[in-house]
Amino acid sequence: MVLIDALFINKGGGAVLLKYLIECILATPQKDNFFFVLDPRFHKPDELHKNYIVINNKIRDRIKFYRAHKGKFSAVFCFANTPPPVKLKVPVYTYFQNQKLLAAPGQRFRRKHFSQYLKFLAVKFYNKNTDYYIVQTRHMVEALTALGLKDHTHCLTIPFYDDRKYLTGHKPFNEREKDAFVFISNPSPQKNHLTLLDAWEYLLEKKQTPILHVTIDHTAPHLINRMHELNAKGTRIVNHVYLDPRELYFSCPYLIFPSVIESFGLPLIEAVDSGMKVIASDLPYVHDVIKPSLTFQPLDKISIAAAVLKALETELPFPELLIRNEVDKLIELLIS
């Protein structure tokens, strides 16, 4: 029996990937050889009828579970960055998807980053309990090894994602809304919305008013206020709060992606599959996943604005996907 430990996964990109992984596992002949530990906040798929347990998302409850069941599994896959709290005698793989945790040691003296640093210390404390880290991209391997958590041999790059949703149904590029840019993201600080909005203000000063579609919820009132202020001046920023991005990806020509920290950058892949052109931060996480249409310096509003103007004034190349979905490889590794 293979244990999939998905405690601490409840929403966001991690939940999307977990649901996809569960779906793929349930489609295999070995589906009954998997057992899942789930966070009570995670909405499990209806197809998951058995072979799972929901426990409190507390460290003590996780320790209690492992101590009671540690002899029952042939392999363990931890899906939430943190290795098991006890040492096991079977192969253990930990999926690491949070680059913010790896950046935390360098920011530990800043109050707003201290909670991330404490989480990193938990990862470091339990590091000896995992044999391998599994990541989506090369830059995550470099980040893990730079901190001495594992060497390159024990960091496996196995990207996986749902590659079916965006391949069909989109409009031809020349039939899309001509000057529309899309950034689908939560308003976390590393997503860099403020600099993006500053760039749109700079474009307005240059008498340019392209459309910007964003998804910013009530947790970032400062960004919402900033958008209202800019729109009152004449910008065209549309806040959808939340929506399935499919419609925007299929009808708008450009993805703009100013994030400064990403473990994977799934929207980059979705944009390529949707027939969009991509202008993005000139950072390793982008170049690991796609060859973008154009890049900019993400902390420089003028660089972002210049990239937007170039996209509107010239014929940019379409981006190229540099990775592929390897979910079958991951499942085979766990059952081998």
Model confidence over 289-313: pLDDT tens digits?
999 999 999 999 999 999 999 999 9
Phi, psi at 99, each rounded to 5°: -70, -25
Model confidence over 108-134: pLDDT tens digits?
656 666 788 888 899 999 999 999 999
Residue 110 backbone class (left: φ over 0; alpha: ψ -120 to 50; beta: rest): beta
pLDDT in the model for residue 104: 80
Which of helix, strand or coil describes residue 69? Answer: helix
Going by the DSSP 8-state scheme, the letter that residue 35 receives in this structure is E
pLDDT in the model for residue 30: 94
* Average pLDDT for 38-46: 89
pLDDT in the model for residue 256: 98
- Report, in this order, helix, strand and coil percent for the chain, each rounded to 5: 45, 15, 40
pTM of the model: 0.87
pLDDT in the model for residue 133: 97
Greater confidence, 153 or 167?
A: 153
pLDDT in the model for residue 113: 65
Going by the DSSP 8-state scheme, the letter that residue 32 receives in this structure is G
Greater confidence, 164 or 277?
A: 277
Specify the fold of 173-321: Rossmann fold (3.40.50)
The CATH number fitting domain 2-157, selected from 3.30.1330.60, 3.90.380.10, 3.40.50.11820, 3.40.50.620: 3.40.50.11820
Model confidence over 71-113: pLDDT tens digits?
999 999 999 889 999 999 999 999 998 888 888 877 665 666 6
Structural domain spans, the chain:
2-157, 173-321
Q: Are 2-157 and 173-321 the same fold in CATH? A: yes
* Average pLDDT for 219-233: 97
In 3D space, the residue among 146, 165, 198 whose CA is nearest the CA of residue 267 turns out to be 165
208's tokens? 């340019």
pLDDT in the model for residue 108: 65
Chain-centre distance for alpha carbon 251: 23
